[in-house]
Amino acid sequence: MLNPEKIALISLSTQLTRAVQKIRDTTCTNFEIIEAFLDEVVTVAQELEQNKFEIILALPYTSSIVKNYVQIPVVPIYTDGLDLMKAVYKAKKLGPKIAYVAFNQEKIRNDFENLLSISGIDIYPYYYKNQFEMRDSIRQVYEDGIDVVIVTGTCMKHMAEKMGMKTIKIEPGNDTLLEYLNKAYDIIALNRREKERTRRLQTIIDMISDGIINIDQHGKINVVNTAAAQVLNLPREQIIGTSRDTIGSLINENGRSIIKTIGSSTLIVNKAKILNEAGQIEEIIALKDVTEIQRLERLVQREMKQKGLVAKYTFNDIIGQSRAINRAIEKARLYASSDSNILITGETGTGKELFAQSIHNTSNRSNGPFVALNCATLPESLLESELFGYEPGTFTGARKGGKSGLFELSHNGTIFLDEIGEIPISLQAKLLRVIQDKEVRRLGGEKVIPMNVRIVAATNLDLEDAVNRGNFRADMYYRLNVLSIKVPPLRERYDDIPLLVNFFMDKFSRNHTNQQERVNFTDDMLQSLLSYRWPGNVRELENFIEKFMYLYKKCSISGVNLIKSLLYDSTSQSSYTCVNPGENPGEDMVSIRIGPLKEMEKELIHNVALKMNIHKNKLAEILGISRTTLWKKLNS
C-alpha cells in the first residue's frame, strides 16, 4: 500500500491561510498549512523536509528563498491573469495613478505585460529581488506620487499603508490554488515512479557482474542474466517462468550469505528483498563466483594505488650508514616479515613514516593498500568516522551511500596510525576493540565487517608516561607495542649528516620548478652543521639545505657565517644582507654580518677583496695596513 502524499503550504498571511483551509475542507484533501513570518520560512521548510514531506507550496518570493535550503521540490504559486485583472479594476476605483510592486521573475513580468496589452490601463511596474529592494520599491512608489499600489505580500501592504498610500493586495484565487495543488500531486506521483525505477535499476546494475535471478511476488522467476544461466548450466528460457523451487537449494531463507558448490564452481549466494510499484515483495538472488571475487580484489588493490593508498618508500630510501640508523633498519627488516603490530617511536622529523612504508613494502602485504592517517590532524568526531566509516543517513552531511572507513580500505594491507598518542582517551576503547577483534562496524551500522590488517603506529610521545598520567590506555599501549622500533634522532647519527647533505642537494638541484645550484661544502661548513643539535632532525636539515642553497649565491657573507646565521638567527642578534644576482649594495659599500669584532673585521676584508677584485698589496694600501698585518688578520 502506497503512503499518502505529504504536501505542505507555507503561508505568510491569514487571508491566504483561510482561503487554502477552505479548499482543503471542501475538497477533502489532506495537506499541511503552516503560517509563518518571513524570517521563519527557512526553518519551517527544513523541519518539513526532516518530517518526510515530499513537496512545498508557497508564493513566489517565499519559494525563491526556501528552495535554496531544502532538497525536496518547492513549487511557487503564481497569481494568474484573472487575479491580477481583478486587483487592477479594484485599484482603478481608488485612484488614477496605479503601481504594481512584485517579485522580479520572468513569469510575473510576462503576465503583467500581457495584462497591459489587453487592458490598455496605465500601470507602473516596480520589481524587487530581495527584502532590501522591496523596501526601496515601496519608497520609490511613494516618492513618485502613486495613488494606489498593488502588492503581492502582507509586508509590502503594511509598509505602503504606513506611508499613507492606498493598497490592493493581490491573492491567488481558488481556481489558481486548486491548479497548483493538483500540480503538486502530479509531481509527487512522478517523483515516486522515478525513485522506484531508479532503485530497481540500481539494484540490478550494482550486481550485474554477478549471476542475477529475480523472483516476482508470485514466486516465479522472471529475470535471469547470462552469468546465472551459465552457473546453473541451463538455458535461460528453461528457467524463466518456473517456480522458485527450481533454485530452492541456492536460497537461504534467513537472508544471510551462504556458500554453495555447483559443478566446478564455488559460489557465494546473497538474497535481497525489494518492493515493486504495487508494494509487493520480490526477491533478487546474486551468485558470486569466488574466483571472480579474487579478481575483483586485485582490481581494488590497483585502484587503491591509483588513489595514492600506496607506500612509495623502501629501506633503500633511508639515507645513512651510522651504527644507530643501521640498527633501526635491521630491526625493521626483521619485523617486516611478521604480522604483529609495530610501534615506531622517535622525535619529530626523524622519518617514522619512512620506516612504516619500508616495512609495508618488505612485508608479504606489499601488494595490498598502505593507508596512512595522522591522528592529530582531525577532531574526535571526524577521526571516528574516518577510521570506522559510516552508513547512509548516520548524521547530517553524510554521503548518500555511506563511506568506507580507513580500516576497511586497509584490508589485506597496512594501516599506519601516525601520532597515535594524540587519539582522545574516549576513542581509544573503540579502537582497541577493532585492533583486538580484527573487525569493524561502521557508525550507524549493525553489520560487523571482518578485516585483515597489519597495524603500524608511530608517536613522538613517551607513551609509558602517558599511561601513568592516565592519558593513554595501558591495554591499548600493550596491544600496539608488540614489536617496537626507535628511530634515532639526528644528533645520535652525526656521521650521516654529510650523506644527507649530498642527498638533499641532489634533490633540490633536480627540482625543475625551483632548481638550485649545488654548493661545495667545505670542512668548516660541515663542522658548523655537526656542531648544531638539530631538534627538528632530518626534516629540519632538509628544510635548511633548501633554504641554504637558495640564499648562498645571493648573500655577501661566507658559507660558514650564513649557516650560523640561518641556524641561530632566532636566538641571536646576527643578521646578513642578501642581494639578487647582478645587484650591488653600492659602488663603495659592502655588507657584513653583525657578530664578534674579529669575525666582522675578517669578513669585511674578505668582502672588500671580492668587491675590488685587486691584488693583496693594493688591498692593504686601501685598508691602510701593511701586507703582513693583512695576512695576520685573514689567518687569525
pLDDT for the residue numbered 570: 46
Contacts of 371 (CB under 8 A, 6+ apart): 309, 406, 409, 410, 413, 414, 415, 416
pLDDT for the residue numbered 573: 39
Q: Decide if pLDDT at 174 tops 60.
A: yes
Query: What would the grid cell of residue 20 be?
Result: 487554502
Thinking of the domain 315-488, which architecture would CATH place it in?
A: 3-Layer(aba) Sandwich (3.40)
Q: Name the percent of the chain lying above pLDDT 90.
A: 22
Mean pLDDT of the chain, nearest integer: 82
pLDDT for the residue numbered 576: 47
Q: Decide if pLDDT at 579 tops 50.
A: no
Q: Decide if pLDDT at 200 tops 80.
A: no
For residue 582, name the pLDDT band (cuts at 50, 70, 90): very low
DSSP structure class, residue 490? G
Long-range CB pairs of 325-330, under 8 A, 24+ apart, other chains included: 325/488, 325/493, 325/496, 328/355, 328/485, 328/486, 328/487, 328/488
pLDDT for the residue numbered 299: 66
Ranking 242-251, 472-481, 533-542 by mean pLDDT, the lowest is 242-251
For residue 88, name the pLDDT band (cuts at 50, 70, 90): confident
Taking the C-alpha atoms of residue 535 and residue 199, their distance in angstroms, rounded to an integer, is 58
Do the domains spanning 81-171 and 315-488 agree at the CATH topology level? yes
pTM of the model: 0.47
Per-residue pLDDT, averaged over 549-567, amounts to: 80
- From first CA to last CA, the distance across the chain in angstroms is 101
Ranking 347-356, 357-366, 570-579 by mean pLDDT, the lowest is 570-579
Per-residue pLDDT, averaged over 151-170, amounts to: 85
Taking the C-alpha atoms of residue 352 and residue 355, their distance in angstroms, rounded to an integer, is 5
Going along 406-560, which residue ranges are E strands? 413-418, 439-441, 448-450, 453-459, 483-486
Assigned CATH class of 207-291: alpha beta
* 480 vs 511, more confident: 480
DSSP structure class, residue 365? T
For residue 252, name the pLDDT band (cuts at 50, 70, 90): low
For residue 466, name the pLDDT band (cuts at 50, 70, 90): very high
**β 221-224/211-215 pair status:** antiparallel
Taking the C-alpha atoms of residue 447 and residue 518, their distance in angstroms, rounded to an integer, is 58
Q: What confidence tens digit (pLDDT) does each residue in 10-53 have?
A: 888 888 888 888 888 887 778 888 888 888 989 999 999 999 89
Per-residue pLDDT, averaged over 108-126, amounts to: 76
Q: Decide if pLDDT at 167 tops 70.
A: yes
For residue 86, name the pLDDT band (cuts at 50, 70, 90): confident
Residue with cell 518547492: 74
For residue 416, name the pLDDT band (cuts at 50, 70, 90): very high
Assigned CATH class of 492-595: mainly alpha
Per-residue pLDDT, averaged over 383-402, amounts to: 78
- What is the homologous superfamily of the domain 81-171 according to CATH? PrpR receptor domain-like (3.40.50.10660)
Are 148 and 163 in contact by the 8 Å Cβ rule? The answer is no
Q: Which amino acid is at 109?
A: R
Q: Decide if pLDDT at 604 tops 90.
A: no
Q: Decide if pLDDT at 564 tops 50.
A: yes
For residue 581, name the pLDDT band (cuts at 50, 70, 90): very low
Other beta carbons less than 10 A from residue 429's beta carbon: 11
pLDDT for the residue numbered 295: 62
Taking the C-alpha atoms of residue 256 and residue 324, their distance in angstroms, rounded to an integer, is 54
What are the boundaries of each domain within the chain?
A: 7-77+176-187, 81-171, 207-291, 315-488, 492-595
The backbone region for 351, taken as left when phi is positive above 0, alpha when psi lies in -120 to 50, beta otherwise, is left
Taking the C-alpha atoms of residue 384 and residue 430, their distance in angstroms, rounded to an integer, is 9
Q: Decide if pLDDT at 584 tops 50.
A: no
Taking the C-alpha atoms of residue 241 and residue 229, their distance in angstroms, rounded to an integer, is 14
Q: Which fold has domain 7-77+176-187?
A: Rossmann fold (3.40.50)
Contacts of 75 (CB under 8 A, 6+ apart): 55, 56, 57, 58, 63, 180, 183, 184, 187
For residue 229, name the pLDDT band (cuts at 50, 70, 90): confident
Q: Decide if pLDDT at 363 tops 90.
A: yes
Per-residue pLDDT, averaged over 467-482, amounts to: 93
Q: Decide if pLDDT at 96 tops 80.
A: yes
Query: What would the grid cell of residue 13 be?
Result: 498571511
Q: Decide if pLDDT at 568 tops 90.
A: no
Q: Decide if pLDDT at 404 tops 80.
A: yes
Q: Alpha-carbon torsion 343, 344, 346, 352, what sign?
A: negative
Nearest-CA neighbor of 401 among 193, 212, 194, 202? Answer: 202
Ranking 138-152, 258-272, 339-353, 427-441 by mean pLDDT, the lowest is 258-272
pLDDT for the residue numbered 350: 94
* 228 vs 469, more confident: 469
Q: Decide if pLDDT at 250 tops 80.
A: no
What's the CA angle centered on 100, arms 97 and 102, to 5 degrees? 165
* 309 vs 216, more confident: 216
Q: Decide if pLDDT at 279 tops 90.
A: no
Other beta carbons less than 10 A from residue 56's beta carbon: 27
Residue with cell 509563518: 36
Ranking 237-241, 502-506, 556-560 by mean pLDDT, the lowest is 556-560
